[in-house]
Amino acid sequence: MRALVRRACVPAVLLSALVLVGCSSDPLTTRPKADASAPPAAGKDASSKKVSSAGPVLAVGETGEFDTGELSEDGATYRVTSKMSVKVVGAEYVTPEEIDAGDGPENGQFVKLRLTLKNIGDAPAMVMTYGVMEWQDTDTAAQDASLSEGFGDGRALDATYRPGQTATGYLVLDVGRKGGTVSYNGSQDPDADGPLFSVTLPEA
């Protein structure tokens, strides 16, 4: 009787092993391994969205670079098209009389910022400073520093630069007080992470 029980158990054990082996190799039940090199699905990882990084913060005498670009016609896609270099030639605080301004500054202080711009990219680049220059310091939030359109000689810098072209000119800005920074926020990238470049103004 015991021998019969042993013989009956052996086929049952073998059958169980065969079933387990068959399940582990069945292509219909085996999960494929994730491809680590595959890009994340659209909309799954918001952090993968590429945005323009903030440009350099420059002092008088320093030179930096910033990208220029454009939006697609539908306004959905931004692409970098060229690159500019900017050198801060000087920053001088001036009085209304020195710049033939009838009225004093609304914000507190006029500053004449002298810059040299050059297209170092492979395509035309447009620079338009009016309405996109801001000033701030540790006590004051960013505020518009542009004067009335066309005031002074600042427009000498506003142009479309072909590759290799350069211009030196100055912007007269109305800032809160001496010191702080002025920034050029002329990027068309709606997701830009900061200004294209900033200039640290002297304290005196």
Domain containing 169 — which CATH number? Answer: 2.60.40.1240
Q: How many domains does the chain have?
A: 1
Domain that holds residue 150: 55-200
Is it the case that residue 45 has pLDDT exceeding 50?
no
Q: What is the pLDDT of residue 113?
A: 94
Task: Label residue 78 by pLDDT band (50, 70, 90).
Answer: very high
- 0.75 exceeded by pTM: no
Is it the case that residue 199 has pLDDT exceeding 80?
yes
Residue 12 in any domain: the answer is: no
CA 149/CA 132 separation, integer angstroms: 12
Task: Label residue 155 by pLDDT band (50, 70, 90).
Answer: low
Is it the case that residue 134 has pLDDT exceeding 90?
yes
For the segment 141-152, the average pLDDT, to the nearest whole number, is: 77
Q: Which residue has the higher pLDDT, 60 or 17?
A: 60
Residue 47 in any domain: the answer is: no
Residue 66: which of 6, 120, 16 has the closest Cα?
120
Please give the structure tokens belonging to residue 110: 């006029």
Residue 123 in any domain: the answer is: yes
Residue 113 in any domain: the answer is: yes
Lowest mean pLDDT among 15-24, 50-59, 104-113, 120-129: 15-24
Residue 182 in any domain: the answer is: yes
Task: Label residue 149 by pLDDT band (50, 70, 90).
Answer: low
Residue 60 in any domain: the answer is: yes
Residue 142 in any domain: the answer is: yes
Please give the structure tokens belonging to residue 132: 């996109």
Residue 173 in any domain: the answer is: yes
Q: What is the pLDDT of residue 76?
A: 82
Residue owning tokens 């065969």? 18
Sheet holding 143-144, edge to edge: 57-58, 197-200, 181-184, 133-136, 143-144
Q: What is the pLDDT of residue 53?
A: 73
For the segment 82-102, the average pLDDT, to the nearest whole number, is: 92
Residue owning tokens 């301004």? 101
Mean pLDDT value across the chain: 79
Task: Label residue 5 by pLDDT band (50, 70, 90).
Answer: very low
Is it the case that residue 10 has pLDDT exceeding 80?
no
Percentage of residues in the chain having pLDDT higher than 90: 53
